[in-house]
Structure 1
Amino acid sequence: MTLKLSVVQSATDFDKIAPMDHDAWKIPYNPQLKHFRPQFPTREQAIAYARENSKCRFEDRDPEKQFWLKVEDENEEVIGAAQWAVNIPAEGAERTVASWYPEGSEEREFAERFINGLWGFLGERVTRPHMVVHVEHRYRGAGRMLIKWGTAKADELGIETVISSLHSARGAYEKSGLGYIEEIPPSRDLEVENPSAKWKELQADDLSGCLMWRPVGRDFVVGEDKAPWQE
Structure 2
Amino acid sequence: MPLKLHELTTGDEFKLVVHVELEAYSEPFNGFWEMLKGSSEDELCARQLSWHRNDPSSHWLYVIDEDSGDVVGGMQWNIYNTNPYATEQSPLTAYWFPDGPTRRVGNQLLLGLTTHRPCSMSKPHLLISYCFVHSAHRNRGVASLMLKWGTRKADDLGLEAFVESTEIGRKAYEKHDTRAEDASDEFQASRRKFGCPMHV
Partner residue of 1:96 out of 78, 87, 92? 92
TM-score by length of structure 2 reads 0.79
CA deviation digits over 1:183-217, x for unaligned, max 9?
xxxxxxxxxxxxxxxxxxxxxxxxxxxxxxxxxxx
Alignment map for 1:211-230 (pairs within 5 Å): 222=188, 223=190
Alignment map for 1:42-81 (pairs within 5 Å): 46-62=40-56, 65-74=57-66, 75-81=68-74
Alpha-carbon RMSD? 2.5
Q: What is residue 107 of structure 2 aligned with on the other side?
A: 112
Gaps of 5+ in 1: 41-45, 181-217, 225-231
Q: Whole-Å Cα distance in 1 between the matches of residues 182 and 26 of structure 2?
A: 30
What one-letter code is carried by the residue in structure 2 that aligns with 1:68?
W
Following superposition, the deviation at residue 179 of structure 1 comes to 6.7
Following superposition, the deviation at residue 9 of structure 1 comes to 1.9
Following superposition, the deviation at residue 178 of structure 1 comes to 5.9
The number of residues matched between the two structures is: 179
Q: What is residue 35 of structure 1 aligned with on the other side?
A: 35
Q: What is the DSSP-based 3-state SS (H/G/I as helix, E as strand, rest coil) of the residue aligned with 2:164?
A: strand
CA deviation digits over 1:38-63, x for unaligned, max 9?
2x3xxxxx22222222333343342x
What one-letter code is carried by the residue in structure 2 that aligns with 1:174?
E
1:135 matches 2:130: yes
TM-score by length of structure 1 reads 0.69
What one-letter code is carried by the residue in structure 2 that aligns with 1:77?
D
- 8 Å contact kept, 1:131–1:159: yes
Q: Indicate the structure with greater helix content.
A: 2
- 8 Å contact kept, 1:6–1:70: yes
- 8 Å contact kept, 1:15–1:51: yes
- 8 Å contact kept, 1:96–1:112: yes
Q: Whole-Å Cα distance in 1 between the matches of residues 160 and 177 of structure 2?
A: 12
Q: What is the DSSP-based 3-state SS (H/G/I as helix, E as strand, rest coil) of the residue aligned with 1:137?
A: strand
Q: What is the DSSP-based 3-state SS (H/G/I as helix, E as strand, rest coil) of the residue aligned with 1:100?
A: coil
Q: What is residue 78 of structure 2 aligned with on the other side?
A: 85
CA deviation digits over 1:156-177, x for unaligned, max 9?
1111011111112111111122
- Runs in 1 of length 4+ with deviation above 6 angstroms? 218-221
Q: Whole-Å Cα distance in 2 between the matches of residues 60 and 121 of structure 1?
A: 23
What one-letter code is carried by the residue in structure 2 that aligns with 1:108?
R
1:153 matches 2:153: yes
- 8 Å contact kept, 1:173–1:179: no
- 8 Å contact kept, 1:177–1:219: no
Q: What is the DSSP-based 3-state SS (H/G/I as helix, E as strand, rest coil) of the residue aligned with 2:77?
A: strand
